[in-house]
Amino acid sequence: MKRLLSLATLAAISTAAMAEVQVVTTIKPLHSLVSQITQGVSEPVLLIKQGSPHGYQLKPSDVKAINGAGLLVWVGKDMETFVPDLLAKTGDSLDNLAWSEVDGLAILKTRKGGLWSKGHDHDHDHDHNHDHNHDHNHDHNHDHNHDHDHDHDHDHDHDHDHDHDHDHDHDHDHDHDHDHDHDHDHDHDHDHDHDHDHDHDHKGHHHGEYDQHLWLGIDNSELLLKAVAEKLVALDPENQTAYEANLQKAIAKLDALDDEIKVSVESLKGRPYMVFHDAYQYFEHEYGLNSVGAVRVSPEHEPGAARIGELRKMMEAHQVACLFREPQFPAKMAEKLVEGTEVKLGTLDPIGADIPAGPEAYTTLMHGLISSLHACLD
């Protein structure tokens, strides 16, 4: 009898273990949001604890976690560039949820480096193969003033920066109307910052056509929470009650955060500032902030000497009050740009580099953005 009881106990334990879905996430803000849904059921694995997701190299511990995973949650192929190859190696057997493919997202197109012209700052694509029914069952009152008809009579002018890393010399003498701003930095393997404003259809080469920093928008974050909960209920129906209760708590928490941010940033609207790279578009758009440009096209591509001179002139001409660097990259470039000017130097952290991972990390990250903006712009 004792043996039978022991076997029954083991069977129960085994069944419970099978029911628990191991979730793997890529970046810290995403991990935090997913953790809010899995709380009390399981703890998701975080792959990228420090550094950029672009070109991330998997460690043996990452491979082990992925091999035991029932679900991978990631942003998209233009953010975690290593994931498509990873999924291909698994024979697409690993169930995954790409945030950029969630129905209903308010997708913004990637902006180029330098100064952003008014009227093109928030170029939407609300189709993006999605059915955009924001059925949140609660009233956001975000007052986003979204103008979803942003054709501007130039449907093909996407203003993308093509960052070609050529290892050979190019003497570009273009006499045609392509507006090539070639910043040849010969100390960086000829890393050309080509600002190609072509009148034909080009896709962005590094960050892709669409901005992937989805977590910095509250609306998009709520859509992710719903998608994760729905996915987990399908994979693990035994814990449906827990997932759905966690979803309601997480949405209420985001709504409260949204209201708090709206009040806090009201005094900052209209104050011009520049960022290190264009990571904050969703945040700026939801709360009406006045970011006028970015130093880099992407975090990994430094502007050359000519480009630095142009950026300094831009900051002066547009009375930029603050330039925000990022903690995960050296401060030298930002310091050089503001040297001898009245522009203040601040720090914005888009990914939570120094924030402990967990369910509270997302709220802490957003509070950090507010505090940093006030510290430099007040």
Q: Give me the domains of the chain, ranges plus CATH numbers.
A: 11-101+218-254 (3.40.50.1980), 114-151+263-377 (3.40.50.1980)
Q: Decide if 276 contacts 295 (C-beta within 8 A).
A: yes
* CB atoms near residue 183 (< 10 Å): 22
pLDDT of residue 117 exceeding 70, the answer is no
Model pLDDT for residues 18-70, shown as the tens digit of each residue: 457 999 999 999 999 999 999 999 999 999 998 778 778 899 999 999 999 99
Q: d(Cα 338, Cα 340) in Å, to the nearest integer?
A: 6
Strands 344-347 and 322-325 come out as: parallel
pLDDT above 90 covers a percentage of the chain that reads 50
Residue with more model confidence, 62 or 201: 62
pLDDT of residue 176 exceeding 80, the answer is no
Give the model's pLDDT for residue 13.
42
Give the model's pLDDT for residue 328.
77
Give the model's pLDDT for residue 50.
84
Residue with more model confidence, 207 or 234: 234
Give the model's pLDDT for residue 306.
78
Q: Residue 166 — pLDDT band, cuts 50, 70, 90?
A: very low
pLDDT of residue 106 exceeding 50, the answer is yes
Q: How is residue 193 annotated by DSSP?
A: E
pLDDT of residue 113 exceeding 90, the answer is no
The overall pTM is greater than 0.85? no
Give the model's pLDDT for residue 116.
64
**Alpha helices (runs of H) in the chain, residue ranges in sequence order:** 2-19, 28-38, 60-67, 83-89, 218-235, 240-265, 281-287, 305-317, 332-338, 361-377
Residue with more model confidence, 195 or 88: 88
Model pLDDT for residues 275-329, shown as the tens digit of each residue: 988 899 999 999 999 999 888 755 566 667 777 788 888 888 889 999 999 887 7
Give the model's pLDDT for residue 114.
58
Mean pLDDT, rounded, of the chain: 77
125: helix, coil or strand? Answer: strand
Q: Residue 207 — pLDDT band, cuts 50, 70, 90?
A: low
Q: Residue 93 — pLDDT band, cuts 50, 70, 90?
A: confident
Q: Residue 193 — pLDDT band, cuts 50, 70, 90?
A: very low
Give the model's pLDDT for residue 19.
54
The encoded tokens of residue 274 equal: 């520049």
The encoded tokens of residue 333 equal: 């470039």
Give the model's pLDDT for residue 198.
34
Q: What's CA 105's distance to the chain center, in Å?
A: 13
pLDDT of residue 232 exceeding 50, the answer is yes
Model pLDDT for residues 118-155, shown as the tens digit of each residue: 534 445 554 444 443 444 444 444 444 444 444 434 34
pLDDT of residue 334 exceeding 60, the answer is yes
Q: What's CA 19's distance to the chain center, in Å?
A: 31
